[in-house]
Structure 1
Amino acid sequence: MERRADPEHGCTISQPESEHSKSAWFTVAGSFLVYFVSFGYMNSFGYFQDYYIQNDLAEFSPPIISLIGSMQLGLMLLVGPVSGTLFDAYGIKWLYLVAATGSTVSCIGLSFAQPGRIWQYFLSQGVLFGLMVPFGTSVALPVVGQHFRQNRALAMGVVAGGSSVGGVCLPIMFSHLVPRIGFAWSLRVAALIMLVFYGVAGFISTEKLPARPLKPARQIVDFGGFRDIRYTTLALANVVGNFGLYVPFYYIEPYIAVNFDGSGASSYLLPIINGSSFFGRVIGGYTADRIGGLNLLYALTTVSGCLCLTMWLLASSIGIVVSFVCLYGFCSGIFISVMSPVTSCLSPDDKIGARLGAFSAWGAIGVFTGTPIAGSFLKNNKSSEYTNLIIYTGVCMTVSGGLMFVTRLLCDRNLRKKW
């Protein structure tokens, strides 16, 4: 890789372009495509979990299988701060190329994995994809932020929506293709889509800021925020929330298959929860700007826990489960989209990136271990065993909401204030 020009060596920065320019919105479209094939693919792991349980990895327990999806998300959070720094130094084109190559090779490698050889699935889908995808996801939002000021929230909301749209379309695509052309060729189709989408994104996306020197390690991740009790409490809430957040995404399809066999709805619940998450992300960001991110976050996180302990735990019909999926998906979208802006408010302006890096690294603990812990309740994947899994999820989300409320009180005891 060759470095682009450094502003310390004579580069000039052009005047800001119009936020309604073609280049600005083409960049939004490119980032949308990146989120579609990155987060959208990871949000589809519930389909893979159900498929593996019933087919290729049937001899392995659900918690072992869920480690594949947990590894994807956890590695993305750990590598993200590093890839963000490389973006500052080398630009978006090179990083999209790395992400495209890694993601495509991951899917093709997975298509050749042999049933029963779980290490092949783990390395190709969990490790390789998890290591490569942050080179796309960690730069897709910042490059959009370079183009927008007044409409930044709208533009970033559109980009974030790509993950939900991908999470809707990809599971439906797999559920229709696999019976027709097989699992392996369906993955090769997905690999082709990833390659094309990354290629288009790299072609239409533009940057406005010149390169900066690589940051030293201490500026990539800064754990100094843990000296602030508010930051520490929120980070703890994030970890506890991550223990339960993704459990419905991973286990809702196996749950339906066991508890409502023959309903025909299992293949559509994951797209529904991802679609609802889209509205949570967009509406949540808009609402947080008006009533305060932390005010919204602790309330809706607590609600998501209560939904698990009531609607999901006591569900007696497929209609109740669908209602739960819609509401939980909406609340989870708020958790995902509002957490970073709230964390930024607790960090000095010159350390926001590094503090967010430390926050993400700490949160990866919950992502790595949450769904495997939940899956450990499923010894034989029987209907009665899902009760403890649901209670575990509900308790995690409720406790997380309580810790967020404590953080809110530490910020200001006047709950009517915007915070």
Structure 2
Amino acid sequence: MQMNALKPHRKIDMSHDAERIVTPFYGWYVVLGAFAVTLVGFGSAYTFGAFIGSLEHDFHASRGSVSLVFSLAGFLYFGFGIFSGPLADRFGARMLAFLGMLVTGAGLILAGLAQSLTGVYAAYSLGIGLGVGLSYVPVLGAVQRWFVRRRGLASGLAVSGIGIGTLVMPPLATFLVSSIGWRHAYFVLGILAAVVGGGFALLLANDPQERGQAPDGDAIADRSERRPASGVSIRTAVTSRRFIGLYIACLIGSFGLFVPFVHLVPFALDHGIAPSTAALLLGVVGIGSTGGRFILGGIADKMERLMTILVMFAGIAGSMVIWILSKNVWTLGLFSLVFGVFYGGYVALLPAVVMDSFGGKNVSALIGILYTSVAFGTLIGPSVAGFAFDLTHSYTAPILACALTSLMAVAILALTSRASIPLHEMETT
């Protein structure tokens, strides 16, 4: 009788212990969801180079005007973070990312149905721009809250989806364009974005406390002692010298950051490289990008992350020197790999720098504000490079400008990276 009376008590204790020990840390599922969303979203966006030739031919358009389609999309998906970030802080990342993937898919399908370049502008730019804009900043913000000690690695893994997407999606798009035509290719990519991206977006969770967990999978000794996220106010953050310096550096550095994603394939074709091989160069960028996100994200966890952003811009400038000297597929492959490594490291570490500097309370909103700088750079850089090519029939000047703007970003970060953070103004929700 005494043994039976003790059984319920022991069962409760054991189940409580089992819950704490056996329950898997959900943060890695959040990383998986973010990985899939960035793979499908940016992978679809970076297939644009595979469609340039078809769009030029079918609509009798110049390279500059066609490049503007990508620039408008990039402007929207980075710029829209200023709205999706605060919405994610308030309503959660899952809903926004799911909706964003549906919008991305619809935009790709409508681009395939367009009967004019203006129609492609509207469908692709709005679909990709708003779709990725709704999902990108929210998934980044969600990942930051789930990790502290391994934040750089987790961020790297999450956005390595961009690298994998760059590796697999452009060759897939090239194959589809050559086999079923560019219109049907857009239809296939649209279905892929909606089904795969939307499905994995449902894995997202905005905060460890939603799952009764703590960052990094640490045990919560007393669940009644959960503390809300802390961080400086948006106004305090955006008026700080560190944020202003980071914003200006990202703005100037982004002028050249996305030029290769639009113009590397046409550059290779102009140098007599076969279309299938030229498309693989973007895949090499994806390989380097994935490696950069894994390796550099982990290394940055052991050093000051803000200084690693400076190193990323310096590496991007060096890669542009390789590009301008490239004349064959091997040297272009080397450029693609080196550029990919430093580009991947930059994308992986930037959200973690924001979290480190200003806390988690408004992290999605601050990432969104910061990415407006990238939006303007994306709008200007690829399109200006295209129009410069139309005038000179050469990419020499645009590539040199890419190297110069990256070096300017290095100088700005070097001058502002040591600025203090107003931690005494930390607030909690």
Give the alignment's TM-score, normalised by structure 2: 0.80
**Matching residue's letter, 1:400:** A
Partner of 2:252: 240
Partner of 2:138: 139
**Matching residue's letter, 2:416:** T
1:68 is displaced (CA, Å) by 1.5
**Matching residue's letter, 1:279:** G
Q: Pick from 356, 370, 382 the counterpart of residue 371 of structure 1.
A: 382
Q: Pick from 23, 46, 49 the counterpart of residue 46 of structure 1.
A: 49
Q: Pick from 243, 252, 261 the counterpart of residue 249 of structure 1.
A: 261
Alignment of 1:164-179 (within 5 A): 164-179=163-178
Cα gap change, 1:354/1:101 in structure 2, threshold over 3 Å: closer, same or farther?
closer
Take 1:119 and 1:406, find their aligned partners in 2: how far apart are those partners? 43
Take 1:295 and 1:92, find their aligned partners in 2: how far apart are those partners? 29
1:100-133 CA deviation, whole Å, 9 max, x = no partner?
321121111011112xx21111110012321122
Q: In 2, are the aligned partners of 1:167 and 1:270 still within 8 Å (CA)?
A: yes
The count of residues paired between Structure 1 and Structure 2 equals 385
Take 2:412 and 2:110, find their aligned partners in 1: how far apart are those partners? 42
Partner of 1:56: 58
Take 1:164 and 1:149, find their aligned partners in 2: how far apart are those partners? 23
Partner of 1:4: none
Secondary structure at the aligned position of 2:302 is classed as helix
**Matching residue's letter, 2:24:** S
1:253 is displaced (CA, Å) by 0.4
Partner of 2:347: 336
Q: In 2, are the aligned partners of 1:81 and 1:357 still within 8 Å (CA)?
A: yes
Take 1:316 and 1:132, find their aligned partners in 2: how far apart are those partners? 37
| 169-178 or 372-381: bigger deviation | 372-381
**Matching residue's letter, 2:249:** A
1:38 is displaced (CA, Å) by 0.7
1:358-390 CA deviation, whole Å, 9 max, x = no partner?
3222332212212112222111673xx111121
Take 1:19 and 1:35, find their aligned partners in 2: how far apart are those partners? 30
Give the alignment's TM-score, normalised by structure 1: 0.81
**Matching residue's letter, 1:141:** L
Cα gap change, 1:300/1:153 in structure 2, threshold over 3 Å: closer, same or farther?
closer
Q: In 2, are the aligned partners of 1:106 and 1:129 still within 8 Å (CA)?
A: yes
Partner of 2:324: 313
1:202 is displaced (CA, Å) by 4.4
1:62-96 CA deviation, whole Å, 9 max, x = no partner?
23222221222221222224223333444455334
Take 2:243 and 2:201, find their aligned partners in 1: how far apart are those partners? 36
Partner of 1:230: 242
**Matching residue's letter, 2:123:** S
Cα gap change, 1:158/1:17 in structure 2, threshold over 3 Å: closer, same or farther?
farther
Partner of 1:327: 338
Take 2:418 and 2:170, find their aligned partners in 1: how far apart are those partners? 41
Cα gap change, 1:85/1:358 in structure 2, threshold over 3 Å: closer, same or farther?
closer
Take 1:104 and 1:319, find their aligned partners in 2: how far apart are those partners? 35
Q: In 2, are the aligned partners of 1:302 and 1:402 still within 8 Å (CA)?
A: no
Cα gap change, 1:323/1:138 in structure 2, threshold over 3 Å: closer, same or farther?
same
2:407 pairs with 1:403:
no
Secondary structure at the aligned position of 2:44 is classed as helix
1:331-357 CA deviation, whole Å, 9 max, x = no partner?
111222223333444436655444433
Take 1:257 and 1:37, find their aligned partners in 2: how far apart are those partners? 26
Secondary structure at the aligned position of 1:290 is classed as coil
Take 1:239 and 1:140, find their aligned partners in 2: how far apart are those partners? 22
Cα gap change, 1:153/1:331 in structure 2, threshold over 3 Å: closer, same or farther?
closer
**Matching residue's letter, 1:197:** V
Cα gap change, 1:89/1:355 in structure 2, threshold over 3 Å: closer, same or farther?
closer
Take 2:210 and 2:23, find their aligned partners in 1: how far apart are those partners? 21
Partner of 2:11: none
Cα gap change, 1:136/1:209 in structure 2, threshold over 3 Å: closer, same or farther?
farther
Q: In 2, are the aligned partners of 1:107 and 1:190 still within 8 Å (CA)?
A: yes
1:244-283 CA deviation, whole Å, 9 max, x = no partner?
1111121100001112344852121011112211111222
Identity %: 22
Take 2:22 and 2:188, find their aligned partners in 1: how far apart are those partners? 35
Secondary structure at the aligned position of 1:60 is classed as coil
1:172 is displaced (CA, Å) by 1.0
Q: In 2, are the aligned partners of 1:374 and 1:393 still within 8 Å (CA)?
A: no
Secondary structure at the aligned position of 2:325 is classed as coil
**Matching residue's letter, 2:68:** L
Take 2:68 and 2:94, find their aligned partners in 1: how far apart are those partners? 31
Q: In 1, are the aligned partners of 2:137 and 2:367 still within 8 Å (CA)?
A: no
| 14-23 or 329-338: bigger deviation | 14-23
Query: What RMSD in Å do the two structures reach over aligned CA positions?
Result: 3.1
2:95 pairs with 1:84:
no
Partner of 1:21: 24
Secondary structure at the aligned position of 2:326 is classed as coil
Cα gap change, 1:18/1:238 in structure 2, threshold over 3 Å: closer, same or farther?
farther
1:44 is displaced (CA, Å) by 2.7
Cα gap change, 1:342/1:38 in structure 2, threshold over 3 Å: closer, same or farther?
same
Partner of 1:123: 122
Take 2:113 and 2:47, find their aligned partners in 1: how far apart are those partners? 20
Take 2:92 and 2:356, find their aligned partners in 1: how far apart are those partners? 27
Cα gap change, 1:291/1:136 in structure 2, threshold over 3 Å: closer, same or farther?
same
**Matching residue's letter, 2:78:** L
Q: In 1, are the aligned partners of 2:89 and 2:364 still within 8 Å (CA)?
A: no
**Matching residue's letter, 1:120:** G
2:403 pairs with 1:394:
yes
Q: In 2, are the aligned partners of 1:27 and 1:201 still within 8 Å (CA)?
A: no
Cα gap change, 1:30/1:304 in structure 2, threshold over 3 Å: closer, same or farther?
closer
